[in-house]
Amino acid sequence: MGDAAHVHSPAGGQGMNTGIVDAVVLGRMLAEVVTGNRPDAWLDRYGELRRPAAAEVIALASRLTAMATTRGAARQTLRNAMLSLVGALPPARHRVEMSLSGLARRDATRLAA
């Protein structure tokens, strides 16, 4: 879990948050097993629950890094216009907020219990 499972650029500030959710999910799953509520095989679900979040965060960080390092005046102008548009459109802004805050990926903690 954490960076050992999904290291990526710090763009978007998601690494620590994602690692903390990894730990919460694994902690809950381990608690279910050690208290005898679930069989050992329950732990196999960990990858199922966390791999999509890791893939999403890595893809998001890659997109943000590509955007931040865009070269050329025309591309930079286009990028800035697109970011202004996203900021001005509430549904688009909400989607970005949910993704950057990690709230879009909160289901995994609920499913682990």
Ligand X SMILES: Cc1cc2nc3c(=O)[nH]c(=O)nc-3n(C[C@H](O)[C@H](O)[C@H](O)COP(=O)(O)OP(=O)(O)OC[C@H]3O[C@@H](n4cnc5c(N)ncnc54)[C@H](O)[C@@H]3O)c2cc1C
Supply 67's token pair: 């955007």
Nearer of residues 19 and 105 to ligand X, judged by Cβ: 19
Which range touches ligand X (CB under 6 A), out of 9-17, 38-46, 60-68, 85-93?
A: 9-17
Asked if 20 and 69 count as a contact pair (C-beta separation under 8 A), the reply is no
Which positions from 17 to 36 touch ligand X by CB under 6 A, shown as an x/- string? x-x-----------------
User: Cα separation of 47 and 43, whole Å?
Assistant: 8
Is 16 one of the binding residues for ligand X (CB under 6 A)? yes
Q: Is the dihedral of CA 5, 107, 52, 39 positive or negative?
A: positive
User: What type of residue sits at position 76?
Assistant: Q
Is 15 one of the binding residues for ligand X (CB under 6 A)? yes
Which range touches ligand X (CB under 6 A), out of 13-21, 49-57, 62-70, 74-82?
A: 13-21
What is the DSSP secondary structure assignment for residue 106, as one 8-state letter?
T
Q: Which residues bind ligand X (CB under 6 A)?
A: 2-4, 10, 13-17, 19
